[in-house]
Structure 1
Amino acid sequence: MAAQKEEYGAKDLAVLEGLDAVRKRPGMYIGTTDSQGLMHCLWEIIDNAVDEALAGFCTRIVVTLHTDGSITVADNGRGIPVDKEPKTGLSGVEVVLTKLHAGAKFGNSSYNAVGGLHGVGSSVVNALSSRLDVEVDRNGKTYRMEFRQGHPGVYTDADPSHPSPASPFKKTRKRSPTELREVGTVGANVTGTRIRYWADPEIFNSTAKFSYEQLIDRVRQTSFLVPGLSITVVDENIPETGDESIDDLRETDETPLVQDRSAQASDRTPDQDSGNESKDVERPAEESIPESATVTEPAGHARVEEFCHTGGVVDYVDFLSKGEPVCGIWHISGEGTYEEETQVVGPGGDLHAQMVERTCGVDIALRWTNNYDTTIRSFVNVVETPGGGMHVDGFLNAVTRQVRKTVEANARRLKVNLKDAGTKIERDDVTTGLVAVVTVRIAEPQFQGQTKDVLGTAQVKPIVTRLTDKQFGEMITGSKRGYKEPSSRVLEKIVGEMHARIQARRTKEVTRRKNALESASMPSKLSDCQPGNDDIAELFIVEGDSALGTAKAARNSGFQALLPIRGKILNVQKASVSQMLANKECGAIIQVVGAGSGATFDITQSRYNKVIMMTDADVDGAHIRILLLTLFYRYMRPLIEAGHVYAAVPPLHRIALTGKRKGEYIYTYSDDELASKVAQLRRDRIGFDEDIQRYKGLGEMDADQLADTTMDPRTRMLRRIRMEDAAQAADIFDLLMGGEVPPRKKFIVDNADDFDRSNIDA
């Protein structure tokens, strides 16, 4: 049967006008309609204000989170143009907020290096808002315009101080005069823009949630990248007590309300090529946000956080650095030019191709720490590029090349065998522990998509490479004054990482449990389990040789392996990679686990399903567990993240029952539990030996007792080590196990009253 012919003509074509296309396909413009898209809209508005700061016309931005869910972004930039745009006959405000691919960033006169380049940011946010209000201060006057789902018109609010998307709205008719109207006056020198918008629930799904933490992170990040720019976040949803009020934001900028001191530089080292520091910024009162900047004033004092930094990327690297620094912060900066063919708007409004000369500004800060994590943040005109791109490639290529050359030139001092083909510095060796911020500023950068994840402008790469080659080369070779000693420390760390990588690879090759010969390569003190039980195999790290004898008799050798350690192992949070590898206890643990260490750790190659720390139930035992956990966290972190690391829970006391229940025992695990259990036995009139045994160590138990209480999966109790917040865990390990004594002492003193010994392993 022949298929029925369907008619298909021009009448079947749908034409979406204006911003309707954005509402129909929002994912094309903001990626998603969940929380990510919701935050993307806010970034678009904030970035427009930041672009004014980059152009040199804005010094203050205020972001206000209102109790009704709306958000206001206010700046003291030049203000959106309010005069008529010749081609459309509309005001500049309406053009910017209703026309896609419209704005001053397509030309070369107003903006040279900006974040928003596609000309869709403000108009897209407008289209996806149930309501958007804009106020502009220019020419001594305040102008106002309102929109509903992208369409201009006028709202009639019952209470103008509490505007609402549900208020009556009169839509402007097509070909009618614009609804931009004068609503007040300001000082002759006062300029700025305020945009308040309500995200449309018809667009964003029910899972879309606003993240205050993401906003603070983005604002702090921007304050680093635009030195001297003050950005304030006012959250009316969380009132706080205090003498300051929101009026302080309006009347003066002389003293910032809350200064972000978290990234202020520590004592500078001689190899840090910058004297900038974060500090309070004083500005004359006329630069402050005018009174109309805050649309509504909450009752009481809202949460206010202000960020302002003057040190730029150097301060940013200092803020991002975790762990003990190997060197100070090294600074690379400069600029280069390149030619690019681009479409230019001619006098008649037509586009034509033209070769133009561009300037690329480069600003990079970097340092190495004793961690093995790599932290590289990259930006183009303050827009983050999580996927990197040409600027990051140029930077890493130059750094890796210069390190290789310097290592080869100093092979004897660094103990590197150049004759061994396998001994070669790789990029991973260089980036281990590296903290870097890479920024470039260029006109009309080419991004991959509207979300701007990757920089694609190819001409940027050779400029970044050339500048990094020259300046970093002088630093790493020590030829630049003040860099000889820190460069030596950096090279030693990188060479140590290379040796660790090579050793990890060799360890993997010799620690596969495939045959008896392979098992023989394990440490002699390892009492391994039988092969073939990898899915349930357990490795007990046992404190002391005395407990080892009892544990051997108590274990199930089919799947339980034992590795004894002698007392307290090396604190690897303070030690270098080479020191860790040289330590027999640490090296044995890494070799026995069999999955490598550091950046090369591969959890799929682990020889055991569970790694169990079995130490005495005393303070020394707790300290040994912390030292072991530090080793696992620093060099075998995926084991903790996947929940494969445990702490055994041996008992503290044994109560021997008497009378009819003679031969039965009750084990308790704390003094409080003992007191409670004794009271219960007396209350129930159950006889027991008053001479209660207190275990001082695992070696005091016989095999049956150790098996029943600590090792037998049917009767034992284990505590799984979890790490829900990696960043918080890193801070805690650095605080408690690192080399800085004063912060640790302060932490202990401040928290002494709240300490609960029973929570050591909780």
Structure 2
Amino acid sequence: MPSPAAKKTATSKSASEYTAHHLQVLEGLEAVRKRPGMYIGSTDSRGLMHCLWEIIDNAVDEALGGHCDRVDVVLFADGSVEVRDNGRGVPVDIEPRTGLTGVELVYTRLHAGGKFGGGSYTASGGLHGVGASVVNALSSRLDVEVDRGGKTYAMSFRRGEPGSFSDVAGAAGRKDPEHPFTPYVKTSALEVVGKTGRGVTGTRVRYWADRQIFLADAGFDLEGLLARARQTSFLVPGLTIVVRDERGAEPTEEVFVHDGGISEFCEFLATDAAVTDVWRLQGSGTFTETVPVLDAQGHMTSTAVERECGVDIAVRWGTGYDTTVRSFTNIIATPKGGTHLAGFEQALLKTLRSQIAAKGRTLKAGSDKPEKDDALAGLTAVVTVRLAEPQFEGQTKEVLGTAAVRQIVAKVVETELTSLLTSTKRPYKQQAAAVLEKVVAEMKSRISARLHKETQRRKTALESSTLPAKLADCRSSDPAHTELFIVEGDSALGTAKLARSSDHQALLPIRGKILNVQKASVTDMLGNAECAAIIQVIGAGSGRTFDLESARYGKVIIMTDADVDGAHIRTLLLTLFFRYMRPLVEAGRVYAAVPPLHRVEVMNPGSKANEVIYTYSEGEMRRLMASLAKRGRKTKPLQRYKGLGEMDADQLAETTMDPRHRTLRKVTLRDIESAATVFELLMGGDVGPRKDFIIDSADALDKERIDA
């Protein structure tokens, strides 16, 4: 071991070697290239898309100010992307303090731009003056073209450095970051490359992301880009956004323009049937904050300034229990919320509690108070605020941090929502009553689930059971091996009891067609005997309280007759699972049994046992009979099963219940929004779209499947 003296000598040597020349000073855009994650979050596809958002948001900020009505985004086959707008164009004159043109200043200097309170933007998404310059620093090439004053100006950059590329002569429009590059040494040149018509202005930015910075598999997410473009077109009514993808064999183009604003956005996001129309909660408030302001001498002086915060919120309650809330600040999405969302939720709960307390006797609410989840159940909302220089937590702008916004939003929501809930106008009065009833029903459902949580657990044979008497339970208590068959009627139950393996297969009969929960309220659903029995037997709760880990069975198998009524019952049951036990479907634990339609007994000569073949459709049966006739095989009279009750126990076990021989259809859920739309179409209260669907699909119906 080294002696204490040796240790002391080594430490002293290490300290003496750490001097000022070990310190690094990163100038300008070097810092961005050295630590890109600080500015764009990551260097994978998310960071690549964040760079694109920065350029698009600059164009949209022009639209917010009323200077632009069209933005084009083009994804080129060579990996570059271009954003075009018809706004005012980046300034091309000389900025006096730096001696640089506006274009070079914006794209090469951090914390430089027109959004620091200079009066050119009252509310914008760009705040820190680093967006365009960061994209430039992380691009192997960036070209800017500006239309202003009847001329087209152009400038190119390589990894943030201004200069000129020697693009291949004769290759019209061909640009490449690998072409020879000559940096400007003494002075930069903003070249005039063309003329424009009178009044034509705009900016075009095309860049190639630097593959020295971004991961090899990082790429532009077209679906994410389309979703963002659609979202922005809702938030800025009248703005046309065109997304063109030229990377495939055939170019594709999507155009987004919406004049309905966030009301239309709210309707677009909602997937369930409406309880209320879209309500708009609008207002504004002022607050004072102290900010450093650049004076005429170039010094920063702390100054108290008065800010105005505009609030515009669209809300809509539906029959479901899922919550969809999108929040935005100056059209920048804040997926992790912030002070504006906190103020909205605070005021929403406070107002609903106040109204329910005032109408407690009518609503039969008792002394219990609704919680936030009760108020948010079935709510679709778009929360937007606009203010100058909001404070975000980081350059990625995912959380709004301006503290004063919370109280302003809360006051607007409380005032406007109270006015709507207490309105004497007939449409609002009816919808307000429906909202309050829904919130109270959600509250009662939550309380009921909590009180009955213990009784929903599996009971052993030695314990008193509160499960429905009609349940024929199994002996095993291991969800990994147990199966619950929901069967149609008592006749099928009798056969299924003899056919099942009582060790791990449980049976629950239902009486015909259960309640259509797509149309019914939560209260009606919980009050329905069949629905309540299914929820109780599965034992994992319902709606927001559903706990997949508490489910008593590993598989839930819907076993109905192979006819139209059976298909209807299966659809009603799937509607119940989708609306109130969705995690069970998402986990792939809901199945549909596939019972046969026909039993064909083929006669064998002599003492050899006859061969039994089951068929599952009319077409399969006819092909089989034709094949047997061709081979000269004789059969006994065909047996056609009208229902599960007509099958013998051994036949039901062999074809439908025995895991060694049966066929099950797993119910999957690839796209929740599409599934919700289909359920609303087929089972919802709006008859018109369903009628159109039936008429349009009539030609595709196999009429032989109808039992007439």
Query: Considering the TM-score relative to the shorter chain, is it more than 0.5?
Result: yes
User: Is 1:537–1:608's contact at 8 Å kept on the other side of the alignment?
Assistant: yes
Aligned partner of 2:625 in structure 1 is 678
Q: Which amino acid aligns with 1:537?
A: T
Match of 2:305 among 327, 350, 356: 356
Indicate yes or no: 2:70 matched with 1:42: no
Please give the secondary structure, in 1, of the residue aligned with 2:115: helix
User: Is 1:507–1:594's contact at 8 Å kept on the other side of the alignment?
Assistant: no
Aligned partner of 1:398 in structure 2 is 347
The equivalences for 1:616-695 within 5 A come to 616-659=561-604, 660-682=607-629, 687-695=633-641
Aligned partner of 1:724 in structure 2 is 670
Please give the secondary structure, in 2, of the residue aligned with 1:104: coil
Aligned partner of 2:501 in structure 1 is 556
Aligned partner of 2:180 in structure 1 is 169
Indicate yes or no: 2:58 matched with 1:16: no
The equivalences for 1:252-267 within 5 A come to none
Aligned partner of 1:565 in structure 2 is 510
Residues 600-634 of structure 1, C-alpha deviation per residue, up to 9 Å, x if partnerless? Answer: 11111111111000111112111111111011000
Match of 2:74 among 37, 52, 64: 64
Please give the secondary structure, in 1, of the residue aligned with 2:255: strand
Match of 1:575 among 520, 535, 549: 520
Residues 687-711 of structure 1, C-alpha deviation per residue, up to 9 Å, x if partnerless? Answer: 4523121111111111111111111
Aligned partner of 1:126 in structure 2 is 136
Which shows bigger deviation, 55-64 or 35-44?
Answer: 55-64
Indicate yes or no: 2:325 matched with 1:376: yes
User: Is 1:153–1:170's contact at 8 Å kept on the other side of the alignment?
Assistant: yes
The 3 A distance-change label for structure 1 pair 60 and 207 is same
User: Is 1:60–1:75's contact at 8 Å kept on the other side of the alignment?
Assistant: yes
Q: What is the alpha-carbon distance in structure 2 between the residues aligned to residue 9 and residue 61 of structure 1?
A: 52
Which shows bigger deviation, 673-682 or 722-731?
Answer: 673-682
Q: Which amino acid aligns with 1:327?
A: T
User: Is 2:363–2:440's contact at 8 Å kept on the other side of the alignment?
Assistant: yes
* Per-residue deviation, 1:236: 3.4
Indicate yes or no: 2:100 matched with 1:154: no
Indicate yes or no: 2:106 matched with 1:96: yes
User: Is 1:655–1:688's contact at 8 Å kept on the other side of the alignment?
Assistant: no
Structure 1: 5+ residue stretches without partners? 241-301
The 3 A distance-change label for structure 1 pair 680 and 109 is same
Please give the secondary structure, in 2, of the residue aligned with 1:232: strand
Please give the secondary structure, in 2, of the residue aligned with 1:117: coil
Aligned partner of 1:73 in structure 2 is 83
Which shows bigger deviation, 122-131 or 459-468?
Answer: 122-131
Q: What is the alpha-carbon distance in structure 1 between the residues aligned to residue 702 and residue 126 of structure 2?
A: 52
User: Is 1:97–1:123's contact at 8 Å kept on the other side of the alignment?
Assistant: yes
Aligned-residue CA RMSD in angstroms? 2.2
* Per-residue deviation, 1:353: 1.8
Residues 566-617 of structure 1, C-alpha deviation per residue, up to 9 Å, x if partnerless? Answer: 1111111111111211211111111111111111111111111110001111
Please give the secondary structure, in 2, of the residue aligned with 1:165: coil
Residues 302-361 of structure 1, C-alpha deviation per residue, up to 9 Å, x if partnerless? Answer: 543322223221121122122211011111111100011112112222222221111101
Q: Which amino acid aligns with 1:536?
A: H
Aligned partner of 1:313 in structure 2 is 262
Query: TM (normalized to structure 2)?
Result: 0.94
* Per-residue deviation, 1:758: 11
Please give the secondary structure, in 1, of the residue aligned with 2:188: coil
Q: What is the alpha-carbon distance in structure 1 between the residues aligned to residue 436 and residue 685 of structure 2?
A: 21
The 3 A distance-change label for structure 1 pair 429 and 48 is same
Indicate yes or no: 2:663 matched with 1:714: no
Percent of aligned positions with the same letter in both sequences?
58
Q: Which amino acid aligns with 2:152?
A: T
Please give the secondary structure, in 1, of the residue aligned with 2:451: helix
Q: What is the alpha-carbon distance in structure 2 between the residues aligned to residue 466 and residue 14 of structure 1?
A: 50
* Per-residue deviation, 1:742: 2.2
Indicate yes or no: 2:316 matched with 1:367: yes
* Per-residue deviation, 1:17: 2.9
Match of 2:642 among 681, 690, 696: 696
Indicate yes or no: 2:359 matched with 1:410: yes
Residues 251-309 of structure 1, C-alpha deviation per residue, up to 9 Å, x if partnerless? Answer: xxxxxxxxxxxxxxxxxxxxxxxxxxxxxxxxxxxxxxxxxxxxxxxxxxx54332222
Q: What is the alpha-carbon distance in structure 2 between the residues aligned to residue 14 and residue 727 of structure 1?
A: 52
Please give the secondary structure, in 1, of the residue aligned with 2:145: strand
Please give the secondary structure, in 2, of the residue aligned with 1:509: coil
Q: What is the alpha-carbon distance in structure 1 between the residues aligned to residue 681 and residue 264 of structure 2?
A: 21
Aligned partner of 2:239 in structure 1 is 229
User: Is 1:526–1:562's contact at 8 Å kept on the other side of the alignment?
Assistant: yes
The 3 A distance-change label for structure 1 pair 752 and 126 is farther
Q: Which amino acid aligns with 2:434?
A: R
The 3 A distance-change label for structure 1 pair 518 and 588 is farther
User: Is 1:511–1:518's contact at 8 Å kept on the other side of the alignment?
Assistant: no
Q: What is the alpha-carbon distance in structure 2 between the residues aligned to residue 521 and residue 407 of structure 1?
A: 33
User: Is 1:617–1:697's contact at 8 Å kept on the other side of the alignment?
Assistant: yes
Q: What is the alpha-carbon distance in structure 1 between the residues aligned to residue 335 and residue 98 of structure 2?
A: 38
User: Is 2:65–2:121's contact at 8 Å kept on the other side of the alignment?
Assistant: yes
Q: What is the alpha-carbon distance in structure 1 between the residues aligned to residue 630 and residue 471 of structure 2?
A: 47
Q: What is the alpha-carbon distance in structure 2 between the residues aligned to residue 504 and residue 112 of structure 1?
A: 50
Structure 2: 5+ residue stretches without partners? none
* Per-residue deviation, 1:200: 2.2
Match of 2:550 among 605, 610, 617: 605
Residues 33-58 of structure 1, C-alpha deviation per residue, up to 9 Å, x if partnerless? Answer: 22211211111001001111222222
Q: What is the alpha-carbon distance in structure 2 between the residues aligned to residue 191 and residue 22 of structure 1?
A: 31
Q: What is the alpha-carbon distance in structure 2 between the residues aligned to residue 14 and residue 747 of structure 1?
A: 68
User: Is 2:177–2:208's contact at 8 Å kept on the other side of the alignment?
Assistant: no
Q: Which amino acid aligns with 2:54?
A: E
The equivalences for 1:237-316 within 5 A come to 237=247, 303-316=252-265
The equivalences for 1:434-473 within 5 A come to 434-473=379-418
Which shows bigger deviation, 49-58 or 387-396?
Answer: 49-58
Which shows bigger deviation, 436-445 or 18-27?
Answer: 18-27
The equivalences for 1:314-329 within 5 A come to 314-329=263-278
Q: Which amino acid aligns with 1:157?
A: D
Please give the secondary structure, in 2, of the residue aligned with 1:396: helix
Residues 630-655 of structure 1, C-alpha deviation per residue, up to 9 Å, x if partnerless? Answer: 11000000000000101111111112
